[in-house]
Structure 1
Amino acid sequence: MLKNYTEKTSVAKTIIALIVVAILEFIAFYILLPPLNIHDIGSWIFQGFFVLLFLIATFFCSKENNIEQLSVTIVSKIVTAVIAIGVVVVVIGGLTSLEIFNASRYSSLIKVKECKFEDEIAQTDTVNDIALMDTKSARVVGERAIGSLSDLVSQYVINQDYNQIDYNGQPKKVATLEYADFFKWFNNRKNGIPGYVLVDPVEFEAEYIKLDKPIKYTSSARFNDKLQRKLRFEYPTAIFEGYYFELDNDGNPYYICPTLTAKIGLFGGKDVKGVVIFDPCTGKSKYYDVKNVPQWVDRIYDGDLATRKFDWYGTLSDGFINSIIGQKDCKITTEDYGYKVMDDDVWIYTGVTSVIDDSSNIGFVMINARTGETRYFKAAGAEEFSAMDAAEGQVQNLGYKASFPAIINIGGEPTYFMVLKDKSNLVKQYALVNVKKYSIVATGTTQRDTLSSYNKLMKENNLGNKQAIDDMNNDLPNINIRVTDVEYITTDGETYVYISDENNNVYKELFAEDESLIFIKPGAQITIYYEEDKKDGKKNADESQSTTDGESQENGLDNAKYDSQNIKTIVKWKAQGE
């Protein structure tokens, strides 16, 4: 009888141990939110830990409390077998996922189309409509958008991960508001998050958008209102790659949440399988296969994932051994990447360099962030960081730092275009650097001035399509005027010529860019080819981002007497009749 009682007690303790471990696992799952998916190594570790914990618990529930007694129990045998099987599966699954056994499969995860630069990248006739603002600068501009709204500033902060989107054909950066801390969430959880910040990276402007229906689910919310927890309980097996805040064509907010699966072995070659589109206002979501994602969605492939897939292609196409020994034709992407809006989509772009010599690029790659389409362009020259150093060298006395550049086509020449920022991440100047010959560097306080300087440098060095460069200027608007006044104004060490006509219009040009301006006198009849300043980085980069830290608003090109004028930038001029 005593024996039967002891056995029943042992069984009861085992059941209690199982319940306790199950409760602990649920609590851990609620906090850590791991995917319950065999293709995720973290899931195996998570489950294995609690199986091992249960095995240890059954040891203390055994009759004699020793390992010999435990080993003969049915429960211990089952648990031990489960652990052994799990270890075998993970080891074999890991080995069959290695690149050494699957080089061709890894390299074929993407299809790369080799393209000609001048055929695929449209020639840039003006640089005033190119998005150059990086995330750090977007944060500065975005903070200004809500800085005067005291009810928002005291309760919310802007999410620091500004997402690049194509919004009805225009490049934009967008970020939602977040709760500042736990107590701000607790006090505002019923009202939710009222809106988001939309930044124009071309005009260097930001606006706060108030929503008709507030956002309930977000990363900064707690308990069941947390975005990741809401999605995990709806999609417990999904391996989420990220949670990207985007807008549809009507400005409604959504989180775009790509899901991954292993394409090689048990764990290897993870790639996008589908996308969950989640409405943070209502909590409703819908899963889409990767081929059926709506057109307005911009980001399915993260930059890290996209460049990693290209690196597999670039290094493993000729086999694993070649990627280690010899490394013939092996190429990889450079350390960073940017985003470019093109063809109504967002494209990830980065340089491509040889694994043997990474001091220069052999080309660059563009990957569609929605479809995964990959285009490779051969364009030997400076890699991005060398170009950034070259641009910074032009303004080393000012201590400005270059942002990661955009790649554009000027006169048929691949060209890096970037902004130069001060320590406060305010844009101060622009820079253009030739990819093939990065000693050709043009900087300026406006985009127009920078382009004008660059075109002159290209002509001097016999680079690019001269006719295409001339056509840039000839296609610009022009006007015949009679000069009434000429003034030379120096600001920040740069001298600008301001020309007024009989209709009180004002035209300006950097004197160093065209010293022939000195021949223009009052009364002269001239033809001016010009460009409006209203889209030239909002007159200039400084003016668009002044007012922060108490900076003067008169910090760039325009003298105070001209602040209210619609000033046009002179591209070139000639005497009438020439």
Structure 2
Amino acid sequence: MFVGRYGRNTAGGFVSKTKPPIKKIVISFIIVAVIEFLAFYAFLPPLNIHSMEFWEFQGFFIVAFFLLTFKIPNFEEAKIQYNIVSKIFGIIILLAVIIVIIGNVISAKIFKAGRYSSLIDIENTKFEDTIKETDTITDVALMDTDSAKVVGQRAIGALSDVVSQYEIGSDYSQIALKGEPMKVASLEYAGFFKWFNNRKNGIPGYVLVDAVKFEANYVKLDKPIKYTESGWFNDNLERHLRFKYPTAIFEGYYFELDEDGKPYYICPTMTARVGMFGGMDVNGVVICDPCTGKTKKYDLDDVPKWVDRVYDGDLIEQKYNWHGMLADGFINSVIGQKDCKKATEDYGYKVIDNDVWIYTGVTSVIDDSSNIGFVMVNARTGKAKYFNVAGAEEFSAMEAAEGQVQNLGYDAAFPSLINIDGRPTYFMVLKDKGNLVKQYALVDVKKYSIVATGTSQKDTLNTYRKLIKENGVKTSSGKYKNIEQQYKHEQVTVKDIKYINMSGETYVYITSNVGNVYKMKFSDDETIVFVQPGSKVEIFYDESNETGIRSIEEWKVQGENETNETTNEQTGKQTEEATKNNNQ
């Protein structure tokens, strides 16, 4: 028989109680504390009970210290001795495990489906009220991140001192700068040694890309950026924010500009809205000046209006999926799935009234081959709108556009949703393997067999409208609605008209009695053949052509409300005559 230190019989026992070795426990505590601080400095977990990362991180070191409080005096005896400290930390670990289990249970969708579905408030609207008609598509932002990277790299390609030390950040932020859609990315250090050599000078600037014109500019700052995601040690943006806000759960770090072009990082913070861990949603924003390191935390109602992205697109899609799937309960989302909806797998951006809106298609869970509507969410305020539009989902439209140019092997970028003459329409760019834009495409949402492609936005729009007319599709607006606001126009007396063939296309050139010259593609409107010298017409034109020749956007016989329409037989005869004269 073996008698323990306090007289307790422990014969044959695997664990026995012993007096706590104070010195060993203190040393163990210091070692664990130092290692935990170094791990915290490296991994930067939030010290917040609503984050599972906190429980995993803290739990690991509590368990490590707990094990160190045990004593194994002799490996041959295989006897472990515990003490009061071991007991206390054992209870702490048990309680933590219970809390995490209960926290996950009370956060589960099966018990809290209604809470999840109510995390987003959606206003039902009409398509035409949400997305206004456009008479021109030359001001639509179509640039995706891959294309922005190519264009942005060109902007710094000739700056040897920049290219050799820095690289453009991989994540271009979509912003609205003075009402215009832009993409912006900060320069980043190209590795540890580049940071070490340039840490005193900082990062000199950023790249700003015009998402409409596909042009990029490198902007050099008066005061360089010090805190960035590619910085090391205390120059690292995430570390800088973590030590200022140790309990904050950051959703992301988004590089943006205010209306004066000054850079900031927009860092939304998160909390659980359902139970202890469920329904993670934005509860505030930290704005950091990367040049000075100054920060300020805002409540959601107080976020400055120049900020563009508080709610990320992935979060918005997740919140809508909770709403669409769980509105009628968890059981229905698994069995039956009546009226269950979900967002499509990607999303795009639109700039409306100097705010960035995130939009995505909505499909039925039972049949996700087509959309039943669209949801649009303001990325700053979180305000959501839904409108019913049945038709092709985005990826089907992309495939339809690619099918038109399959011999060229172009890839379609994610489309923008626009309103052309009251018709919901997908507008996208077609890119080559080098992510360079080669063509444009318009696809009718409701009837996606109607696909128009072209090498310019204008040609693509004209072809699309022609296809709409040929397919007998009704539009809700007149051809000249708001056109006077889009283009210059004047009354013209035709002095001369010529048909000239160039590169397989027939162009019509009209000379007015005052000497102005106008041109258009004959295929855009074949009824132009009825215009003769002496005819009086009203011409809507674009005079951006450097040659001085004005491009005809629309025309009509003076005094009429609509463009001349003729029968197909008359048009055919006049077309043959025009072609014969052109050949001669």
Alignment TM-score, normalising by the size of structure 2:
0.87
Correspondences of 1:146-545 after superposition (within 5 Å): 146-465=156-475, 467-471=477-481, 476-479=487-490, 480=492, 482-483=495-496, 486-490=499-503, 495=505, 497=507, 499=509, 501=511, 507-515=518-526, 527=537, 529-532=539-542, 534=544
CA contact (8 A) 2:488 2:542 kept: no
In structure 2, relative to structure 1, the CA distance for the partners of 1:459 and 1:183 (3 Å cut) is same
Give the partner amino acid of 2:139. D
Runs of 5+ consecutive residues of structure 2 not aligned to the other structure: 7-17, 561-584
CA distance in 1, matches of 2:183, 2:466: 33
- Does residue 99 of structure 1 match 2:99? no
CA drift at 1:520: 7.5
CA contact (8 A) 1:482 1:526 kept: no
In structure 2, relative to structure 1, the CA distance for the partners of 1:75 and 1:452 (3 Å cut) is same
Q: Indicate the SS of the match to 1:26.
A: helix
In structure 2, relative to structure 1, the CA distance for the partners of 1:210 and 1:76 (3 Å cut) is same
- Does residue 124 of structure 1 match 2:134? yes
Q: Indicate the SS of the match to 1:25.
A: helix
Deviation digits for residues 301-347 of structure 1 (CA, Å, limit 9, x no counterpart): 00000111011111111111111111111100000001111122111
Aligned pair count reads 540
Question: Corresponding residue for 2:69?
Answer: 58
CA distance in 2, matches of 1:507, 1:214: 50
Q: Indicate the SS of the match to 1:139.
A: helix
Deviation digits for residues 530-573 of structure 1 (CA, Å, limit 9, x no counterpart): 44374xxxx8xxxxxxxxxxxxxxxxxxxxxxxx5255432344
Correspondences of 1:127-146 after superposition (within 5 Å): 127-146=137-156
In structure 2, relative to structure 1, the CA distance for the partners of 1:152 and 1:484 (3 Å cut) is farther
Question: Corresponding residue for 2:582?
Answer: none
Tell me which moved more, 499-508 or 91-100. Answer: 499-508
CA distance in 2, matches of 1:572, 1:405: 26
Q: Indicate the SS of the match to 2:547.
A: coil
CA contact (8 A) 1:406 1:418 kept: yes
Q: Indicate the SS of the match to 1:404.
A: coil
CA contact (8 A) 2:538 2:558 kept: no
- Select which of 84, 91, 95 maps to 1:85: 95
CA drift at 1:98: 0.6
CA distance in 1, matches of 2:52, 2:543: 55
- Does residue 11 of structure 1 match 2:25? no
CA drift at 1:469: 2.9
In structure 2, relative to structure 1, the CA distance for the partners of 1:160 and 1:223 (3 Å cut) is same
CA drift at 1:269: 0.3
- Select which of 28, 41, 46 maps to 2:39: 28
Q: Indicate the SS of the match to 1:471.
A: coil
In structure 2, relative to structure 1, the CA distance for the partners of 1:509 and 1:252 (3 Å cut) is same
CA distance in 1, matches of 2:206, 2:549: 33
CA drift at 1:189: 0.8
- Select which of 540, 553, 558 maps to 1:571: 553
Deviation digits for residues 341-395 of structure 1 (CA, Å, limit 9, x no counterpart): 1122111100000000000000000011011101001000000000111111111
Two-structure CA RMSD over aligned residues (Å): 2.5
CA contact (8 A) 2:499 2:506 kept: no
In structure 2, relative to structure 1, the CA distance for the partners of 1:48 and 1:571 (3 Å cut) is same
Deviation digits for residues 489-527 of structure 1 (CA, Å, limit 9, x no counterpart): 21xxx6252637478866443444334567889x77674
CA distance in 2, matches of 1:215, 1:99: 43
CA drift at 1:103: 0.4
Deviation digits for residues 243-278 of structure 1 (CA, Å, limit 9, x no counterpart): 000111111100000000001111000000100000
CA drift at 1:69: 3.9
Alignment TM-score, normalising by the size of structure 1:
0.88
Q: Indicate the SS of the match to 1:102.
A: helix
- Does residue 70 of structure 1 match 2:81? yes
Give the partner amino acid of 2:525. D
Q: Indicate the SS of the match to 1:468.
A: coil
Deviation digits for residues 438-495 of structure 1 (CA, Å, limit 9, x no counterpart): 11111111111111111122222333436433436576433425447653221xxx62
CA distance in 2, matches of 1:8, 1:325: 59
CA contact (8 A) 1:162 1:173 kept: yes
CA contact (8 A) 1:400 1:421 kept: yes
Q: Indicate the SS of the match to 2:221.
A: strand
CA contact (8 A) 2:155 2:216 kept: yes
CA distance in 2, matches of 1:8, 1:83: 21
CA drift at 1:70: 3.0
Give the partner amino acid of 2:41. Y
In structure 2, relative to structure 1, the CA distance for the partners of 1:467 and 1:376 (3 Å cut) is closer
